[in-house]
Amino acid sequence: MTLPLPASNQLPSFGAILPEEVEPAIDQLLAENRAEIARLLAAGNHSWEQLVMPLEALNDRLDRAWSPVSHLNAVKNSEALRAAYNACLPKLSAYYTELGQDERLYAAYRAIQQGPAYGDFSLAQRAVIEQALRDFHLAGVDLPAERKVRFKQVRQELSQLSSKYGENLLDATHGWELSITDEARLAGLPESARGLLRQYAQQRDLPGWCVTLEFPSYQAVMTYAEDRALRQELYIAYATRASDQGPNAGRWDNSELMEQILALRHEMAGLLGYHDYAELSLATKMAESTDAVLAFLTDLAQRSRPLAEREMAEISAFAEAHGGPAQLAAWDVNFWAERLRQAKFQLSQEELRPYFPVDRVLSGMFETIGRLFGVGVREVAEVERWHDDVRFFEIVGEEGGVRGRFYLDLFARPHKRGGAWMDECAKRRRLADGTLQIPVAYLVCNFTPPTAEHPALLTHTEVETLFHEFGHGLHHMLTQVDFAPVSGINGVPWDAVELPSQFMENFCWEQEPLALIAGHYQSGAPLPDALYQRMRAAKHFQAGMQTVRQLEFALFDFRLHRQYEPQLGGRIQETVDAVRAEVAVVPVPAYNRMQHSFSHIFAGGYAAGYYSYKWAEVLSADAFSRFEEEGVFNPVTGRAFLQQILEQGGAQGPMELFVAFRGRKPTVDALLRHNGVAA
């Protein structure tokens, strides 16, 4: 085996992954898996021990070989690795489709479900079988032969198109930069931002400062730069990435890819007997129907838009009264909103930044989960990593055993995908010899890196992002389920998977956790109470505008997939425009191509599922309201959340688990209150 294949609790050797060896190694693993599955089926003894467990072991071995390759492609992208990654995608897609369409395997799982032993299965074992049977149908096991072939082709093509979409976005993001030598153009930017832009220039052997499309750079300029022309230039470059518009028009254009992706998704849904891809998407989610999702989003939009309109009018009036333009453009809104925030609350994100040095935030976050869930976190130095910035930690249970492990990669850099995410390196599972495979996570963010002048200092928004991703990590790592298909986040409906992540964000706003998270990077002084009170007062600043922005994404995604008609094509811009007319309050220029960089739905797992953020926010806000009632650090409440939500994985339905924790079904009231919309 040329690709380094870790044993069950060994960690990946990233340095030993050579691009030219990836494809032959994956070919070998796939061939071995196919041969072993054929042998298992031929043996005919179709039981949990003789079929389900060996199959889980085979797929886990493949997962753990592929996971570090896929991960490196996202965080340390190169031409050679990209080529190897893309060569393997259709092969992996074909393998998983073959498994899902294997009628002998399907019959074997049905026989297990109907057999005498099934009555003694645990809830988790039953969930494995039931979800597998559902997934056989969703892979086309019932289809006639020629439609099976077409289904397999569609899946392969989709995996390649989605990958290409993400590559185009990465290349477009790193394919634009602006060198600045006149410091006057940076008027208004705080010293932390100037230091970052100076660092970008030094990395590129440029004089002065360099503005890029990486988010820390974009955010700083759009929020603070007094030079309106600079903001406009950056906005145009950012809003037209990977499209037919803007400074790199047509160079990495995702237009045709989006059309092909939508057409193939619609065809796939039709092959399986669904009316549209949105309907197919809901087959594995909590939401009961596409009508229910649209009603939920529309209701939230109707409740939020009046508030958003008032907020936008307030920014416009403030700008006009303080020498701004009579008509705000898209590149003016963040700048004037930040000035308004400072005027109303005497508060800026920059004023908070010195109180959130990254080491203090991490130690406070670990202390927070210690108080809530009774676990500890310790750093492990001697672990191979893919970059010097990366750190590695273990989560230790109350009895001293390691419950989970994770890599932490916090800072933006070239050749790294934008955004923030948690991904699986290894899943928890009980091996045939009785030993336990410990779950391992990758936690990735794109924060402002440290500079020569000071350590990495986070904005409060970045602190929330870190807690969010750590919530996903806890869901993956603290599971007590011993079967990979339903351990951690596996088998959890996609529209419930954001519950732990959004739940964890709440602790960034509460005084007791903040006392642990915040401390001035020079003096260690706690966050002053006056500053905390201003922060709390500003919590709902522009809540309406933020809510309708999320709803714009969610409605666009869902309608795009629900209303697709092959003879009309994707009608992508038409759909964007229609949704904006209904919910948006910020003026958007005609050349804006948000959809061309919407990787969540075109290159991620959120297609016809972006609504999940709001859907799960109802669950998370209501779950946290129990902590508000019983005490933020109430250990009984914390252990209940651990045992009834985090440890259960996909072994039970999320509504059952929520009711077990909350004592009732969720209501939207807590969400509206948390978002400031109810007020």
Q: Please give the positions annotated as active site.
A: 469
Distance CA 316, CA 511 (A): 33
Q: Is the dihedral of CA 425, 427, 432, 435 positive or negative?
A: positive
> What angle separates helix 19-43 from helix 53-75, to the nearest 10 degrees?
160
Residue-wise over 101-136: b if at least 16 C-beta within 10 A, else e? Answer: bbeebbebbeebeeeeeeeebeebbbbbbebbeebb
The first and second tokens of residue 93, run together, are 């897609």
Q: Would you say 181 and 208 are in contact if contact means Cβ atoms under 8 Å apart?
A: yes
DSSP 244: S
> What angle separates helix 145-174 from helix 255-271, to the nearest 10 degrees?
150
The first and second tokens of residue 626, run together, are 């129990």
Phi, psi (degrees; rounded to nearest 5) at 426? -150, 145
Length of the chain: 679
Distance CA 194, CA 498 (A): 35
Alpha helices in 346-390 (DSSP H): 349-352, 358-373
Q: What is the number of other CB atoms lying within 10 angstroms of the CB of residue 182? A: 9
- Strands 177-180, 209-212: pairing is antiparallel
Q: Is the dihedral of CA 546, 550, 556, 558 positive or negative?
A: negative
Strands (E), 87-237: 177-180, 209-212
